[in-house]
Structure 1
Amino acid sequence: METAFRQTNPLLQTLSQEQIDRLLSQGKVTKKTVQRGQVLHLEGDPCTGLEILLTGQVHVERTDENGYVLIVSRFLPGDLLGGNLLFSKEPFYPMLVQAKETSHILHLPKQTVLDLCLSNGDFLLRFLEGISDNASLLGNAIRNHIRVPLRQSLLRFLEKEAQRQGTRVILLPCSKKTLADMFGVARTSFSRTLQEMREEGLLDFDRKTITLHDKLDAHDPR
């Protein structure tokens, strides 16, 4: 495995490159590539291992009775998939998981994860942190879609992205259409809300970025 993947992934950093290479050669860890649009897991599929996203982007989606696709959560390089299900009494994916870009994924079977947790305290800690972060993200996603105004959800998202990227000029991690899907609204509603906020002097935006102005600090996104 490329050393760069290990250097940028907190969970893999708990293992030496020699350990990772040995696990790969023994078949206890496997690496796979999925193409854009490929379904990784259908709703109801069993979760048989932990997946670490090395490159690309993966979405968890649900389709409502009208055929509208709602993006429940979005996974980027370094994120963990399936960790919160792996040791559950009912380890089944509750929603569809699909690649939105060509993605490289590292798959750790359940027994490998268990062995590493028992033998490596740092691995256990990072694993627990990862699944806790996922639970928090899912909770935020649910709150975003349950009677929370779009403007409030958008403000939360922008503040978190500014904090994550360390800048008030936010590079959008996906298209505005995808963001609208994440918030469960039509693209026109999303664009209208952005335009209203620009007219109020809260932010500015172009095709790839959103710039937060100081005036936004007076608005509490929570």
Structure 2
Amino acid sequence: LHLCGVKAKGASYPTGDRLAVTLDDLKSFRQAGSHCTGHPEYGWTSGVETTTGPLGQGAATSVGIAIAERWLAATYNRPDYDLFSHNVYALCSDGDMMEGLSNEAASLAGHLRLSNLCWIYDDNHITIEGPTGLTFTEDVATRFLAYGWHVERVSDANDLMLLEKAYQTFIDTHDRPTLIIVQSHIGYGAPHKHDTNKAHGEPLGAEEVRLTKQFYGWDPDADFKVPE
């Protein structure tokens, strides 16, 4: 939200033109009063469309949002004048894919052929407890094909051309929802926590942050600064 320049709106913000998430908010991440909460909170931070936190909840909510868009389009669109034609995107984790809630919602989305819905699955094989191989070894792609989804695979999350191609395939698919499975590495660039659950839900630590900045060619002594 900060890098995208989303502007603040609503009673929870002081008056005046400001970003929904400022650098000061980022500095107070997960602290009382910050607009950069541990989990997104609808109505508190501009640009957040639904409150999430429990695994699978956001994915399931996206199905409801996609259904709502379909209803609005059917009710208010007119020939050659579409008021509602937007798509719905949800970023999902390994943990989301494990939950019964997301599975039931995905089944419904496939049944309703919600072609305006795209889930991007961040498949990094790590949860907060450790590798997914401890408890979760199923073929997610085959399961979603059985639900009636179209499935795309992106072998490298840093390959923007592959990502663009997958998104375009979603746009061109008009008879079913799309799941894009993106292979990624959690903590990419952090030399001692890369591909481990140590990069999942806790701070990297000052020295690891310095080493990570060096990996990216950033100034290791500059805090809360993203180079152009």
| Greater share of residues in strand | 1
The TM-score normalised by the length of structure 2 is: 0.26
| Structure with more relative contact order (C-alpha pairs < 8 Å, separation 6 or more) | 1
